[in-house]
């Protein structure tokens, strides 16, 4: 009998759980797991690896954790949420339910499938224009969906749907667990053709339970049309997102101005107190909740990529190191994700150089004009180039998709398309000392080139100042400096204007200081006829909205 263990795989001295099972199971023994909670691809890999050694993994009749937890009277298992679902208004969704179902059915016809099974919670929410409150930071509800040529069903807790049932006129609502009986019926119905199941090319895909319930001969596995259509936001979604992201930027800018003044004045702020205060600013700006657990890391904590401050780890934010703040909010119209790195004292040369190199990567990634079909992996090189040039790197992706009042992390598209919203977040992390990340939210738009070709570019959505004291302009190319000063102008014209309209005078003045155009002084020396080197002119180079002026 093996002892019961609960562990996170990355903490083991094993590459993955398969190796652990291979080493700890004896020939003929079985591992049991909840097939509803494991993606089909992962399950098949585990099964294949174990079968080679005469071992196996089998679905458990009940969730084993639930069985154990159900006997704990001191710490009872919390019930599932019964928080009411809401209809996501058409003025934010930009497309009604009937139109979305029509597009899905057209996609089914194109692959000769009779039904689509939707298992990702955010895809269900997007398809039916509903939002929930079942998962922290993500406005989704426990649900499944099936769409056929003649009917559409939503499988959810009926109590949660009671207030909106009459508004889902094209959808039948069934109990959450009814999905399994309907799947079996579709699978054995000889009049029904192929069943479209979520594949694992861009996302984990459906669970093994869903996969195994449908007969092999009727499975059609591919990226769902709901994933693809959700990823490419429509015109109204983008318009609403621009506005909401700017409003979020106003809240963050107000907070950053306040925090800097507080710390420079000698007031004590910690990682936790700072992130809690920022949440207040966001709620005041209309956020319905945060979009993820805030990463608020000072000094060495900033070097922990997914750090989450607790009462045990919380430290004061000082003036001798860097403070990394990665945060976001959920709004009608947008999900936001932005990172800024600050210094409240005198930064070291190392701080300045590495911050500047991270910023260079952000600018290079965000400034590219590229043809249709360009892979994100090719663009990733641009974000890392300035760091790579020093023999360094960062251990996370440069970009991920972002939802529209949905999940802050969406599956990426192999090929960027107009309307895709993504993060641009290069970084650098010096273990045990500090971390730097600069993250902006962007969207893909038409580059409108003079030749009749499909070329795209990235449009900035985030309008929050950077930290100028950490920027070494002499490391920037002329093009990078031009882009940076253009960004400064756009921040003044958006967030700055809203600060003025709200009579936030001190915050507006803070923003102006942070977005003053950056310049560099170049001393030119000319060799005289006698070989002497004399300085003849001191040139002040100003880069203003793409125009280079030299004054002497």
- The average pLDDT across 10-36 equals 83
Sheet with 322-327, side-by-side order of all strands? 295-298, 322-327, 338-343
**Closest C-alpha to 322, from 296, 339, 344:** 344
Considering the chain, what percentage of its residues have pLDDT values greater than 70?
92
Locate tokens 């009917």: which residue?
151
Looking at residue 116, its pLDDT comes to 99
In sequence order, what are the beta bridge partners of 297? 324
| 278 neighbors 464 (Cβ within 8 angstroms) | no
Q: How confident is the model at residue 453 (pLDDT cuts 50, 70, 90)?
A: confident
Average pLDDT, rounded, for the chain: 92
Comparing CA positions, the residue from 230, 163, 539, 148 lying closest to residue 407 is 230
Cβ contacts of 235 within 8 Å, gap of 6 or more: 94, 419
pLDDT at 297 over 80: yes
Per-residue pLDDT at 8? 55
Nearest to 339 by CA among 380, 305, 390: 305
Nearest CA among 312, 286, 310, 281 for reference residue 296? 310
Burial state string for 82-117 with b = 16 or more CB within 10 A and e = fewer than 16:
eeebbebeeebbbbebeebbeebbebbeeeebbbbb
Spatial distance between the Cα atoms of 297 and 306, rounded to a whole number of angstroms: 9
Residue 6 has what pLDDT? 53
Banded model confidence at residue 550, pLDDT cuts 50, 70, 90: very low
Per-position DSSP letters for 294-322, written without gaps between them: -EEEEGGGGGSTT----TTT--B--SSSE
Per-residue confidence (pLDDT) for residue 536, from 0 to 100: 44
Chain region(s) in the chain for CATH 3.90.230.10: 235-515
pLDDT given for residue 2 in this prediction: 47
CATH topology of domain 9-69: Creatine Amidinohydrolase; Chain A, domain 1 (3.40.350)
- Does the structural domain 235-515 have CATH classification 3.90.230.10? yes
- What number does CATH give the domain 86-229? 3.40.350.10
d(CA 333, CA 291): 13
pLDDT band at residue 71 under the 50/70/90 scheme: confident
Largest CA distance in the chain: 97
Q: Tell me what the mean pLDDT of segment 490-501 comes to.
A: 99
pLDDT mean over 124-137 = 98
pLDDT at 502 over 70: yes
Q: What are the start and end residues of each CATH 3.40.350.10 domain in the chain?
A: 9-69, 86-229
Q: Is the pLDDT of residue 14 over 90?
A: no
Among 379, 419, 380, which residue's Cα sits nearest to residue 396? 380
Mean pLDDT of 280-288: 98
């Amino acid at each position: 009998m093996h002892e019961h263990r609960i562990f996170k795989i990355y903490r083991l001295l094993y590459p993955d759980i398969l190796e652990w099972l291979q080493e700890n199971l004896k020939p003929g023994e079985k591992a049991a797991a909840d097939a509803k909670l494991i993606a089909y691809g992962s399950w098949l890999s585990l099964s294949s690896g174990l079968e080679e050694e005469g071992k196996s993994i089998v679905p458990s009749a009940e969730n084993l954790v639930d069985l154990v937890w159900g006997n704990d009277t001191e710490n009872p298992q919390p019930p599932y949420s019964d928080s009411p679902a809401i209809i996501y208004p058409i003025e934010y969704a930009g497309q009604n339910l009937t139109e979305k179902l029509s597009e899905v059915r057209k996609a089914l016809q194109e692959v000769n499938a009779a039904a689509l099974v939707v298992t990702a919670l955010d895809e269900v929410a997007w398809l039916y224009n509903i939002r929930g409150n079942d998962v922290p930071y993500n406005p989704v509800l426990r649900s499944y969906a099936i769409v056929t040529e003649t009917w559409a069903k939503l499988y959810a807790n009926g109590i949660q749907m009671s207030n909106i049932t009459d508004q889902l006129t094209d959808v039948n609502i069934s109990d959450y667990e009814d999905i399994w009986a309907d799947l079996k019926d579709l699978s054995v119905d000889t009049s029904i053709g192929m069943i479209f199941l979520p594949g694992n090319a861009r996302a984990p895909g459906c669970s093994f339970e869903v996969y195994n319930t449908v007969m092999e001969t009727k499975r059609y596995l591919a990226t769902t049309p709901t994933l693809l259509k959700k990823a490419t936001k429509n015109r109204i979604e983008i318009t609403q997102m621009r506005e909401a992201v700017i409003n979020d930027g106003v809240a963050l800018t107000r907070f950053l101005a306040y925090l800097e003044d507080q710390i420079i004045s000698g007031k004590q702020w910690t990682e936790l107190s700072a992130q809690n205060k920022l949440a207040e600013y966001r709620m005041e700006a209309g956020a319905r909740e945060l979009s993820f657990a805030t990463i608020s890391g000072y000094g060495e904590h900033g070097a922990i990529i997914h750090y989450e401050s607790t009462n045990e780890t919380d430290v004061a934010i000082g003036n001798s190191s860097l403070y990394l703040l990665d945060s976001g909010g959920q709004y009608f119209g947008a999900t936001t994700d932005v990172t800024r790195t600050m210094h409240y004292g005198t930064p070291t040369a190392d701080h300045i150089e590495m911050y500047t190199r991270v910023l260079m990567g952000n600018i290079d990634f965000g400034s590219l004009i590229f043809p249709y079909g360009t892979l994100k992996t090719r663009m990733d090189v641009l974000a890392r180039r300035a760091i790579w040039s020093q023999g360094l790197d960062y251990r996370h992706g440069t970009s991920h998709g972002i939802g529209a009042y949905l999940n802050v992390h969406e599956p990426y598209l192999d090929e960027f398309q107009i309307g895709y919203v993504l993060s641009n977040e290069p970084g650098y992390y010096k273990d045990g000392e500090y971390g730097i990340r600069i993250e902006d939210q962007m969207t893909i738009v038409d580059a409108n080139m003079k030749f009749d070709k499909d070329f795209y570019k990235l449009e900035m959505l985030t309008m929050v100042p950077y930290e100028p004291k950490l920027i070494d302009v002499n490391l920037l190319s002329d093009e990078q400096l031009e882009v940076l000063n253009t960004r400064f102008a756009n921040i003044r014209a958006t967030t700055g204007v809203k600060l003025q309209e709200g009579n936030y005078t001190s915050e507006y003045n803070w923003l102006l200081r942070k977005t003053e155009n950056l310049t560099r002084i170049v001393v030119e020396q000319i060799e005289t006829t006698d070989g002497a080197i004399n300085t003849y002119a001191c040139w002040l180079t100003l880069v203003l909205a793409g125009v280079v002026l030299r004054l002497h």
